[in-house]
Amino acid sequence: MTDSRPAAALRALHRPGDPLILPNAWDAGSARAVAAAGFPAVATSSAAVAESLGHADGEATPVAEMLDAVARVVRSVPVPVTADLERGYGLRPAELVERLLATGAVGCNIEDSDPRTHQLYDAGEQADLLAGIRAAARDAGVDLVLNARVDVHLRAAGPPEGRLAEAVRRARRYRAAGADCVYPILLADPEQIRALVAEVDAPVNVLARAGMPGPAELAALGVARVSFGSGLYAAARARTVEMLASIRAGDEAFREEAR
């Protein structure tokens, strides 16, 4: 039987009104920085990991490379790790759970649109996948924190006036299938976030980005988890580009800064 305490600790951090903040990591170094800054858990970003490994997002990364990257993150930090696994890289639930367990991660994100075509899957089909993952974890004696991403707003599916209702419908279905948390990615309007939190009996994860409510407002809306996706990786990359330009230009100020 696998030690269930790290997964239980991660699950307990999902507190509506006092959200778990997850600045997503992409390698061992960034994961160590997140943990050293005092964050109680680490999440990976599939997009950031993919790009750091030389691949595109959208399940273009060979699954072995993605899982090896997750394992390096787990080994580098003393806190629970949850992995962004897109839609599972085509693995059957039992194999997905087995290989995730081998990394040492205790949670994962699973999205409900095709990473390649960007089309939403049928909610029933997605619920079956989530239920299969939950059952495989149970059969393996593994406690797994399952975060079900809802891509209605990301994919601009259907008329705008119907998207919240569809996100709620899917979130409820995924919760019933065994998800611990639901993640309506790109849902940004404060009143719609409040409405979804009220209508779904599950901790709600939102993506932090420009134009979003800040952490205090998200807490007041009842959000239980805040992710940064590939935002930190993009910021680090942008800063690197600036530094390289300064080095190339022979910038005296940069040389002073680098000392």
Is the residue at 238 inside a domain? no
Is the residue at 37 inside a domain? yes
pLDDT band for position 4 (cuts 50, 70, 90): confident
pLDDT band for position 26 (cuts 50, 70, 90): very high
| Structure confidence by residue, pLDDT tens digits, 156-192 | 999 999 999 999 999 999 999 999 999 999 999 999 9
List all residues 6 or more positions away from 104 whose beta carbon is below 8 Å from its beta carbon: 71, 74, 75, 81
Task: Give the three-state DSSP class for 62.
Answer: coil
pLDDT band for position 225 (cuts 50, 70, 90): very high
Per the structure, the count of domains in the chain is 1
Structural domain range at position 184: 5-230
Q: Does position 257 have pLDDT exceeding 80, yes or no?
A: no
| Structure confidence by residue, pLDDT tens digits, 130-143 | 999 999 999 999 99
Query: What is the reported pLDDT for 121?
Result: 98
Nearest Cα to Cα of residue 73 among 118, 24, 39, 117:
24
Query: What is the reported pLDDT for 256?
Result: 59
Q: Does position 88 have pLDDT exceeding 70, yes or no?
A: yes
Query: What is the reported pLDDT for 255?
Result: 59
Is the residue at 259 inside a domain? no
Q: Does position 252 have pLDDT exceeding 90, yes or no?
A: no
SS (H, E, C) 99-124: HHHHHCCCEEEECCECCCCCCECCHH
Contact 88, 126 (CB under 8 A): no
Q: Encoding tokens for residue 208?
A: 């932090």
Contact 187, 170 (CB under 8 A): no
Q: Does position 217 have pLDDT exceeding 60, yes or no?
A: yes
Average pLDDT over residues 37-50: 98
Average pLDDT over residues 1-26: 92
Nearest Cα to Cα of residue 59 among 67, 71, 50, 68:
50
pLDDT band for position 148 (cuts 50, 70, 90): very high
Is the residue at 25 inside a domain? yes
Q: Where are the beta strands (DSSP E) in the chain?
A: 20-22, 42-43, 81-84, 107-110, 145-150, 181-184, 205-207, 225-227
Query: What is the reported pLDDT for 250?
Result: 85
Is the residue at 251 inside a domain? no
Is the residue at 150 inside a domain? yes
| Structure confidence by residue, pLDDT tens digits, 110-122 | 999 999 999 999 9
Average pLDDT over residues 191-204: 97
Q: Does position 3 have pLDDT exceeding 90, yes or no?
A: no
Is the residue at 83 inside a domain? yes
pLDDT band for position 254 (cuts 50, 70, 90): low
Query: What is the reported pLDDT for 211?
Result: 87
Is the residue at 239 inside a domain? no
- The CATH code of the domain that includes 210 is 3.20.20.60
